[in-house]
Chain A
Amino acid sequence: MTGLAAAASTTSLGEAVQFWILGTVAVIGALCTILMKRAVHSALSLAGTMIVLAVFYLANGAYFLGVVQIVVYTGAIMMLFLFVVMLVGVTAADSLKETLKGQRWLAAGLGLGFGILLIAGIGNASLRHFDGLGQANAGGNVQGLAALIFTKYVFAFEATGALLITAAVGAMVLTHRERTERATSQRERSQARVRAGKQVPPLPAPGVYARHNAVDIPGLLPDGTPSELTVNPTLRARGQIRDVSGEALTGVKELERRSEDWLERDSGPRSSSAAPGPAAPKEEAKK
């Protein structure tokens, strides 16, 4: 991609355009990674940044690494991340409020200082000219890498293999949980539930209407208040519960009335008994 001429000092205009556009995307992705409230969003932003980096690798003549970056990093590792986020972070609402005193200022100051130092260091270095990879990649990038890996870096390569094995075993050891007692049977669990006097029958279903019996809407108790038992705790933790006990009910009533008008159907005894019926106790309770 780059010029074959040795010791060039500029790249092609196309690469420059690509750098400025994708570089901006990468920085935005990185910022989103650290600023997004939800871990899933962070992971996706990071994946975006990584794909941009993969393009940059390709632009810099590292074809093998570019592909590996997409396949291994963005594909495998980021999916692993997402998997763990789903496994772990679902109920963990991550607030961005700082709890350690002064930590944010320290982080900002240090980060700024460190960045300035790095950039000053790079700016100080005399890196006007570059050789380009034309010669090194002449026999093919993958072949060149392979030649180095299996000759010059063979010991590091072997050690990396050992490291990977160790990591795999380590992950297994860390996550494996030895079952030390017999699993309780369903019968035993139900007996325990009866003995403890907790909710013996199945939990009540969410929703009370045919149109609103989605899992994210809590069922209403006879007095019109929503029941905590009817929705999944995960949804509650995520804050994804829609409450229809109050304003939503009036909205529904409004909608029904308008549809009646639109159908030019006199509000018959059926609809009046269907819609406002259950809502009436609720309104009484409000008063």
Chain B
Amino acid sequence: MENLIALLVAAPLVGAALLLCGGKRLDRAGHWIGTLLAVASFAVAAVLFADMLGKAAGHRALHQHLFSWIPVGGFRADVAFQLDQLSMTFVLLITGVGSLIHIYSIGYMEHDERRRRFFGYLNLFLAAMLLLVLADNYLLLYVGWEGVGLASYLLIGFWQHKPSAATAAKKAFLVNRVGDIGLSIAIMVMFTTFGTFAFGPVLAATGDTGEGRLTAIGLMLLLAACGKSAQVPLQSWLGDAMEGPTPVSALIHAATMVTAGVYLITRSGAIFNAAPTAQLAVVVVGAVTLLFGAIVGCAKDDIKKALAGSTMSQIGYMILAAGLGPIGYAFAIMHLVTHGFFKAGLFLGAGSVMHGMNDEVDMRRYGGLRSYMPITFVTFGLGYLAIIGFPGLSGFFSKDKIIEAAFAKGGAEGWILGAAALLGAAITAFYMTRVMLMTFFGEKRWNPAEVHPHESPKSMTIPMIVLAVGSVFAGGLFSIDDAFVTWLEPVTSFAHGNSPVSATAVTAATIVVLLAGVGVAWLKYGRKPVPVAAPRGSVLTRAARRDLLQDDFNHIVFVRGGEQLTRTLVQLDHSLVDGAVNGTAASMGGLSGLLRRLQTGFVRSYAVQMLGGAAVLVAATLLMRSV
């Protein structure tokens, strides 16, 4: 069975190679090949999943060793796969959502002349992402990590004829690079500490390692996670990444790639468990980001950017849960999966709306679309209900658990984190209701003469329907007998937290803040007409529209600071280094110039020098004799 694992990665990789190297001959069949291979990968995953379910909980992990990549002396880097429950969950999510989005893209990218290339990139992404979650060591994980970064870069900048897309791709790549440095440093520290970077030995050895080392590794891994998952302070790229085609936003920047950070932290759980400082940093980052993203999401008028803020915020929840330790890992992954469903669904819905609205993204120019796009409305609505945590839908189960776990952290920390999570839930309800109301309700704010809203083709609606079904039922399904927690327990371990407030109280509070958020949004956007031109808004709104000044901060601190530093260094280089070098050269030149005067070429000058030397010798001899 384990021999099938490589097939998971190989199928999309072959697809990418075929589509990217195949040339124009494949233009007509390219999207079918890409979709077929993605579905094939999903089929393999399903087979493996069925096989895994048939085994006892403790014996489900599979391992496949392909070849030794870098065998040098005692050092060995292997290309080997590990398929345990955690990886399986990710594989199913990636291949499942990936396949759906491939299907969706067939319709969405129908008129794009570079569709073959698009599917090639999507397949490349799938292969890299699967490599990331299937790797059995950090080095191979790093390969996948970089692979998804590359695919993300290529896909954000897919419409590179738009300067904004090209810039956004560059920005995403650069910010990700900061995180990647964290991961590479973490791997290096790991190697010097443990002598290996295979998951098994590293995670098993955390018990007998100094906390300082583990904290360093943990913080570096957190930096990596921040970069890839758009967490504060490396969050600035995600909003701009929405310049990519909508399926890309749905697959990469909502459902899968941005959750790689959560995977990394969960996978390295043993390290974080042994390094409380690093764990604290993780929860702080998670809590800050969940509020940050939510606030940004409230102010954006661009539907995709609003959803991007939401993504940031929801991943903040996951990171927060992952930072809570064994009481949170399972819920982090559970929220990740349900989020994968509903957020992908929401993005596909947004894409569908844009598809029908001539690629208009400003929600202030939508309104009243529910009768024009019924399927989109229903699927989007179900995703909306799921994300705000409407009781009974997916988001409710996963988010509620995270809030509970946050309170269960204990002490003042627990209260603060729990309150932040609750506040986040309220804001989530607010901004998602805002999106919903502005898009599908209210009066039409578009010009019927120019825009003809219409429902999208089947290839787009079917994935949306499937994802909507997932958003509705996944959470409930996972929560029957704590099925999901039990499933993951062998990998992540699980501990029941001791919450100072009862689960019922938390649930009640969640529902109350949810209703409050929805109510405020309805008061603001449902009862009153929405102006087409954005009002000036409060200071906070204006800041939130500018992504809470994150770009300004980066510009002032890093760009300006970097320029200043560069200038200083250049000056130092000019004055000190060049000065020393040129000074040496100049003094040598001057000395040579002086010495050259001795070399006149005139025999008699040389004779004078010889006689002088002879005189010195005689004088020295006499002096020595007289002494």
Query: Is chain B in direct contact with chain A in the complex (CB below 8 A)?
Result: yes
Give A residues with C-beta under 8 Å from B.
100, 103, 106-107, 110-111, 113-114, 117-118, 120-121, 124
Interface string of B359-393 (1 = CB under 8 A from A): 00000000000000000000000000000000000
CB distance from B626 to the nearest CB of A (A): 7
CB distance from B231 to the nearest CB of A (A): 79
Pick out which of these stretches binds chain A: B79-87, B258-266, B605-613.
B605-613
The reply to whether B626 and A111 form a contact with Cβ atoms under 8 Å apart is no
The reply to whether B611 and A103 form a contact with Cβ atoms under 8 Å apart is no
Q: How far is the CA of A120 from the CA of B622 in the complex (A)?
A: 9
B600 contacts across to A, CB distance below 8 A: 100
B67 contacts across to A, CB distance below 8 A: none
A120 contacts across to B, CB distance below 8 A: 622
Is B588's CB within 8 Å of the partner chain A? Answer: no
The reply to whether B618 and A114 form a contact with Cβ atoms under 8 Å apart is yes
The reply to whether A100 and B611 form a contact with Cβ atoms under 8 Å apart is no
CB distance from A266 to the nearest CB of B (A): 67
Considering the complex, give the chain A residue whose CB is closest to the CB of B611: A110
The reply to whether A124 and B626 form a contact with Cβ atoms under 8 Å apart is yes
Is B557's CB within 8 Å of the partner chain A? Answer: no
**B602, B625, B626: the one within 8 Å of A100 (CB):** B602
The reply to whether A103 and B618 form a contact with Cβ atoms under 8 Å apart is no
The reply to whether A103 and B608 form a contact with Cβ atoms under 8 Å apart is yes
**B602, B608, B612, B622: the one within 8 Å of A121 (CB):** B622
CB distance from A98 to the nearest CB of B (A): 10
Q: How far is the CA of A111 from the CA of B622 in the complex (A)?
A: 17
Q: How far is the CA of A106 from the CA of B614 in the complex (A)?
A: 14
CB distance from A142 to the nearest CB of B (A): 35
Interface string of B593-627 (1 = CB under 8 A from A): 00000001010110010011011001101100110
Q: How far is the CA of A107 from the CA of B600 in the complex (A)?
A: 16
Task: Supply 4 further A-B pairs (C-beta < 8 A) apart from A100-B605, A117-B615.
Answer: A100-B600, A103-B604, A120-B622, A121-B621
Q: How far is the CA of A84 from the CA of B214 in the complex (A)?
A: 95
Considering the complex, give the chain B residue whose CB is closest to the CB of A98: B604
B618 contacts across to A, CB distance below 8 A: 114, 117-118, 121
The reply to whether A114 and B611 form a contact with Cβ atoms under 8 Å apart is yes
Interface string of B550-579 (1 = CB under 8 A from A): 000000000000000000000000000000
Q: How far is the CA of A107 from the CA of B619 in the complex (A)?
A: 17
A106 contacts across to B, CB distance below 8 A: 608
B interface residues, how many (CB within 8 angstroms): 15
CB distance from B360 to the nearest CB of A (A): 90
Q: How far is the CA of A120 from the CA of B604 in the complex (A)?
A: 26
Considering the complex, give the chain B residue whose CB is closest to the CB of A115: B615
Given contacts A100-B605, A103-B604, A103-B605, contact A124 B622 (CB under 8 A): yes
Q: How far is the CA of A106 from the CA of B609 in the complex (A)?
A: 10
Given contacts A121-B622, A124-B626, contact A114 B605 (CB under 8 A): no
A-B contact pairs, 27 of them (CB 8 A): A100-B600, A100-B602, A100-B604, A100-B605, A103-B604, A103-B605, A107-B608, A110-B608, A110-B611, A110-B612, A110-B615, A111-B611, A113-B615, A114-B611, A114-B615, A114-B618, A117-B615, A117-B618, A117-B622, A118-B618, A120-B622, A121-B618, A121-B621, A121-B622, A124-B622, A124-B625, A124-B626
Considering the complex, give the chain A residue whose CB is closest to the CB of B615: A114
Within 8 A of A (CB), among B495-539: none
A118 contacts across to B, CB distance below 8 A: 618
Q: Which 6 residue pairs across A and B have the least CB separation, nearest first?
A: A114-B615, A117-B618, A110-B611, A106-B608, A121-B622, A113-B615
B611 contacts across to A, CB distance below 8 A: 107, 110-111, 114
Q: How far is the CA of A143 from the CA of B612 in the complex (A)?
A: 41
Considering the complex, give the chain B residue whose CB is closest to the CB of A117: B618
A113 contacts across to B, CB distance below 8 A: 615
Considering the complex, give the chain A residue whose CB is closest to the CB of B602: A100
B608 contacts across to A, CB distance below 8 A: 103, 106-107, 110
| Most chain A CB within a 10 A radius of its CB, from B602, B611, B614, B626 | B611
Considering the complex, give the chain A residue whose CB is closest to the CB of B614: A114
CB distance from B605 to the nearest CB of A (A): 7
Considering the complex, give the chain B residue whose CB is closest to the CB of A103: B604
Considering the complex, give the chain A residue whose CB is closest to the CB of B607: A107
Given contacts A110-B612, A111-B611, contact A117 B604 (CB under 8 A): no
A100 contacts across to B, CB distance below 8 A: 600, 602, 604-605
Considering the complex, give the chain B residue whose CB is closest to the CB of A118: B618
Considering the complex, give the chain B residue whose CB is closest to the CB of A121: B622
Q: How far is the CA of A110 from the CA of B614 in the complex (A)?
A: 10
Q: How far is the CA of A111 from the CA of B615 in the complex (A)?
A: 9
CB distance from A263 to the nearest CB of B (A): 61
B625 contacts across to A, CB distance below 8 A: 124
A124 contacts across to B, CB distance below 8 A: 622, 625-626
Q: How far is the CA of A114 from the CA of B610 in the complex (A)?
A: 12
Q: How far is the CA of A120 from the CA of B618 in the complex (A)?
A: 10
Considering the complex, give the chain A residue whose CB is closest to the CB of B617: A117
The reply to whether A117 and B619 form a contact with Cβ atoms under 8 Å apart is yes
CB distance from B621 to the nearest CB of A (A): 8
Q: How far is the CA of A113 from the CA of B619 in the complex (A)?
A: 10
Q: How far is the CA of A106 from the CA of B625 in the complex (A)?
A: 27
CB distance from B602 to the nearest CB of A (A): 6
CB distance from A103 to the nearest CB of B (A): 6
Q: How far is the CA of A133 from the CA of B102 in the complex (A)?
A: 121
Q: How far is the CA of A106 from the CA of B621 in the complex (A)?
A: 22
Q: How far is the CA of A107 from the CA of B614 in the complex (A)?
A: 13
Within 8 A of A (CB), among B452-504: none
B612 contacts across to A, CB distance below 8 A: 110
B621 contacts across to A, CB distance below 8 A: 121
Considering the complex, give the chain B residue whose CB is closest to the CB of A113: B615
Considering the complex, give the chain B residue whose CB is closest to the CB of A99: B602
